[in-house]
């Protein structure tokens, strides 16, 4: 594995800005993007952003200390990539939840720094014998991460197939918060949502969202920015998005959270997922040779 990491650093490393480091055993390496603005770590397993720490600040992302770094298991926290389906596979429940992109080893295709010394890296995943075990379609998937004072992530699906392909997707961001009881989420007011905790009933979000129990909601037909006001960390986190019509908000609360073996005990208190998605009735159909890019930007501002 060290030879692989040496090759990565030789080809895609940039002194002082982009470095690849080993993980335990033969688990794929991580890329570290560093600048005066932030430091960001991304696992090549799942092209999974693990952390994003703006300079002189606290990680914007929650990563479970009990996350499992083993092939076949998605990392708990950070930004899992849900693709080519979101949630359970409707046709075949034995297939992995949220698709197979987050449990696949991605490769690096490009890296660099822009004119403001902001580092970026591009990963890709292509259909192969392994992916055919899950999904018959021919594809190329690219993820680009840019780490300035904000975190930009974009996921592009390229159809390499000769027939239409329908996908759903999500950049399933776990945001770090001070306390679930103290935050307020805006940006989803007057928006319809599907409530997974109430038999998938369709409901209307009237005002801002405050969480006092399990929340698992897909807000549909919305392209709005979302804001988490967090007085405890004296910050507002803004999740803005392009080409995403669904925003999923999830907190497992006590009972479900403490049944997840890779979740910190009472970890629900310190996280909320705001997911940049295209799911439920916002699925995407690509014509042969077509492409679709969903993007998001996560940044913080001072609360008061």
Q: Whose structure tokens read 């979000």?
A: 205
Q: Rounded to an integer, what distance in angstroms lies between the CA atom of residue 101 and that of residue 108?
A: 15
**Residue 48 touches ligand TA6, criterion: CB under 6 A:** no
Concerning whether 275 is annotated as a catalytic residue, the answer is yes
Structure tokens at 87: 């949630």
Concerning whether 17 is annotated as a catalytic residue, the answer is no
Could you tell me how far CA 72 lies from the centroid of its own chain? 17
Whether the Cβ atoms of residue 267 and residue 243 lie closer than 8 Å to each other? no
Nearer to ligand TA6, 88 or 207 (CB): 88
Shortest distance, position 80 Cβ to ligand TA6, whole Å = 6
Q: Which residue is nearest to ligand TA6 (CB)?
A: 250
* Catalytic hit among 41, 126, 172, 292: 172
Cα dist from 29 to 20, 82, 169, 209, whole Å = 7, 20, 24, 38
Could you tell me how far CA 149 lies from the centroid of its own chain? 18
Among 9, 192, 196, 243, the residue binding ligand TA6 under the rule CB under 6 A is 196
**Residue 193 touches ligand TA6, criterion: CB under 6 A:** no
Q: Rounded to an integer, what distance in angstroms lies between the CA atom of residue 296 and that of residue 217?
A: 19
Among 74, 118, 121, 145, the residue binding ligand TA6 under the rule CB under 6 A is 74
Q: Rounded to an integer, what distance in angstroms lies between the CA atom of residue 195 and that of residue 202?
A: 6
* Catalytic hit among 17, 41, 48, 275: 275
Q: Report the site for ligand TA6 in 97-116 (rule: CB under 6 A).
A: 97-98
Shortest distance, position 98 Cβ to ligand TA6, whole Å = 5
Binding mask 201-220 for ligand TA6 (x = CB under 6 A): ---------------x----
3-class secondary-structure state, position 3 = helix
**Residue 248 touches ligand TA6, criterion: CB under 6 A:** yes
Q: Rounded to an integer, what distance in angstroms lies between the CA atom of residue 148 and that of residue 134?
A: 35
Shortest distance, position 263 Cβ to ligand TA6, whole Å = 9
Q: Of the candidates 73, 70, 75, 34, which has an alpha carbon nearest to the alpha carbon of residue 54?
A: 34
The residues annotated with a catalytic role in the active site are 172, 275
Please report, as ranges, the residues that interact with ligand TA6 according to CB under 6 A: 74, 87, 97-98, 196, 216, 248, 250, 273, 275
């Amino acid at each position: 594995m060290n030879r692989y990491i040496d090759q990565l650093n030789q080809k895609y490393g940039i002194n002082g800005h982009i470095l690849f480091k080993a993980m335990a055993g033969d688990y794929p390496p991580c890329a570290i993007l560093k600048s005066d603005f932030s430091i960001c770590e991304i696992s090549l397993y799942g092209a999974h952003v693990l952390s994003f720490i703006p300079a002189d600040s606290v990680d914007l992302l929650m990563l479970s200390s009990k996350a499992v770094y083993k092939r076949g298991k998605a990392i708990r926290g950070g930004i899992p990539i849900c693709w080519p389906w979101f949630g359970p596979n409707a046709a075949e429940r034995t297939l992995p939840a949220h698709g197979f992109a987050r449990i696949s080893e991605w490769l690096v295709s490009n890296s660099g720094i822009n004119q403001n010394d902001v580092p970026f890296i591009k990963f890709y995943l292509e259909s192969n014998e392994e992916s055919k075990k899950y999904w018959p379609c021919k594809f190329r998937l690219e993820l680009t991460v840019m780490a300035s004072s904000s975190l930009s992530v974009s996921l592009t699906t390229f159809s390499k197939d000769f027939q239409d392909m329908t996908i759903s997707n999500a950049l399933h961001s776990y945001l770090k918060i001070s306390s679930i009881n103290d935050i307020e989420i805006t940006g989803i007011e007057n928006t319809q949502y599907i409530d997974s905790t109430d038999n998938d009933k369709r409901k209307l979000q009237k005002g801002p969202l405050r969480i006092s129990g399990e929340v698992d909601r897909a807000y549909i037909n919305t392209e709005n920015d979302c804001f988490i006001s967090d007085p405890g960390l004296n910050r507002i986190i803004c999740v803005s998005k392009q080409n995403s019509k669904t925003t999923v908000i999830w907190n497992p609360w006590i009972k479900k959270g403490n049944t997840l073996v890779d979740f910190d005990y009472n970890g629900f208190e310190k996280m909320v997922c705001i997911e940049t998605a295209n799911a439920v009735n916002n699925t995407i159909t690509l014509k042969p040779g077509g492409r679709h890019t969903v993007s998001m930007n996560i940044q913080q501002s001072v609360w008061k």
